[in-house]
Amino acid sequence: MTTSPIGTVGASATSAPTTPATTGATQSFDKDTFLKLLVAQLRYQDPSNPTDATQFLAETAQFSLVEKFDSLAAADQQVLQATQTQAATGMVGRQIAWSDSTGDHTGTVTSVTIKNGQPSLQVGDLQVGLDAVTEVKGPPTA
């Protein structure tokens, strides 16, 4: 018996590749990685003792779940970007406070710029990232 990337399979002349997909110090498994592992399991199984059909169906269902979670994560990212844009546009005309490497600042937001889905606030001649904002006050009083 040999061990495949997914589980134990019958004896074979060659073993499956075992290089994991890594990103930095953490492992990142996506639907492509899962599909490669599933194909490797089928390729290196013992023909005289094939994988149980119910196990194969369970792994196929897991693959479907991985695809759905991937779609859900993409949709979640779009919702986050839309929420950030809405929050940023709601700050136009309001006085904000923010912190950066030079200290704490305040100013009135005059416009919003969106680059690569990330909003930034125009305060005077400065661009302020939405994540740097520490306080939002009402519109300035005249």
How far apart CA 104 and CA 134 sit, in angstroms, is: 9
Clarify whether residues 10 and 65 are in a common domain: yes
3 has a pLDDT exceeding 60 = no
Number of domain units in the chain: 2
By CB atoms closer than 10 A (0-12, 13-18, 19+), residue 60 is exposed
How open is the CA angle 96-99-102, to the nearest 5 degrees? 130
Closest CA to 84 of 133, 126, 123, 125: 133
- In this structure, the answer to whether residues 65 and 107 fall within a common structural domain is no
pLDDT of residue 46: 76
* Beta-carbon count within 10 A of 16 CB: 19
Whether 8 and 74 map to the same domain: the answer is yes
- 142 in a structural domain: no
Tell me the C-alpha to C-alpha distance, in Å, between residue 13 and each of 7, 16, 33, 36, 52: 17, 10, 23, 19, 21
Torsions phi, psi for 16 (to 5 deg): -75, 150
pLDDT in tens, 68-120: 888 999 999 999 999 999 999 999 999 999 998 999 999 999 999 999 888 99
Q: Give the domain CATH number at 104.
A: 2.30.30.30
Do residue 62 and residue 118 come from a single domain? no
**Residue span of the structural domain in which 100 resides:** 92-136
Is residue 24 scored above 50 in pLDDT? Answer: no
Give residue-wise pLDDT tens across range 33-64.
Answer: 777 877 887 788 877 777 677 877 787 788 78
In this structure, are 38 and 98 located in the same domain? no
8 pLDDT higher than 70: no
